[in-house]
Chain A
Amino acid sequence: DQQVKQNSPSLSVQEGRISILNCDYTNSMFDYFLWYKKYPAEGPTFLISISSIKDKNEDGRFTVFLNKSAKHLSLHIVPSQPGDSAVYFCAASALRYGGSQGNLIFGKGTKLSVKP
């Protein structure tokens, strides 16, 4: 049973437009959420995170929104750039219930392609 779901395997966006990547989770104990980006032949790199006490966190062009009642989070990239083309993974942890930063539950990823 998948606890973190990224239902869109791929997404194509024009350069300069907004990219919206979605993630749903089923475990109500999750209280910390992260997004990682992965280029081919490289390990994932941390992008942005959000605690369940917040509903929004922003870092430059990247904003993560959390809707706890819907168990849904999304990553917005504005404006999208060709260098953003990568696979994006959503991840979650239940820090208050024995989870930790190193023990993350990942979604299967969404491949973002930003066209020039």
Chain B
Amino acid sequence: KAGVTQTPRYLIKTRGQQVTLSCSPISGHRSVSWYQQTPGQGLQFLFEYFSETQRNKGNFPGRFSGRQFSNSRSEMNVSTLELGDSALYLCASSLSTSVDGELFFGEGSRLTVL
């Protein structure tokens, strides 16, 4: 079956702009999480959604937001972009949020802010 699909794969923005990233989970998966990966900080948790509800949120400023639709697809938005937002943004999906719900990652969206 198809894996987690993230679009776009690469994008370049300038400071002050905003960006929207999209994630389509594996069919049947209802939980979607977002992570930011940077060379200095590794993978950092952004948010987790389950059945259109945000279950957990990481320690990121309010410029970072997300949502999940009824078909489990998810989007994240970053407003007023800063140079430090340049990173690989990874989306992951799982069947549920239980301990047995293995997390499947997409290939990521690489954002460069100039």
Q: Number of residue pairs across A and B with beta carbons under 8 Å?
A: 75
Q: Are A104 and B42 in contact (CB under 8 A)?
A: no
Q: In the complex, which residue of chain B has the Cβ closest to the Cβ of A46?
A: B102
Question: Is A114's CB within 8 Å of the partner chain B?
Answer: no
A43 interface neighbour in B44, B55, B100, B108, Cβ under 8 Å: B108
Which of A13-21, A59-67, A94-102 contacts its partner?
Answer: A94-102
Number of residues of chain A lying within 8 A (CB) of chain B: 24
Q: Which of B8-58 contact A (CB under 8 A)?
A: 31-33, 35, 41-45, 48, 50, 55-56, 58
**Residues in A neighbouring B4, C-beta threshold 8 A:** 43
> Quick one: which of B33, B44, B100, B108 contacts A102, CB cutoff 8 A?
B33
Contacting B at CB under 8 A, from A71-116, are 89, 91, 95, 98-109
Say how far B37's CB is from chain A's closest CB, in angstroms: 9
The chain A residues found within 8 Å of chain B, CB to CB, are 32, 36, 41-46, 51, 89, 91, 95, 98-109
Instruction: Pull 20 A–B residue pairs with CB atoms less than 8 Å apart, ordered by A.
Output: A32-B99, A42-B107, A45-B104, A46-B103, A89-B42, A99-B56, A100-B55, A101-B94, A101-B96, A101-B100, A101-B102, A102-B50, A102-B55, A102-B103, A103-B45, A103-B48, A103-B58, A104-B43, A108-B41, A109-B42
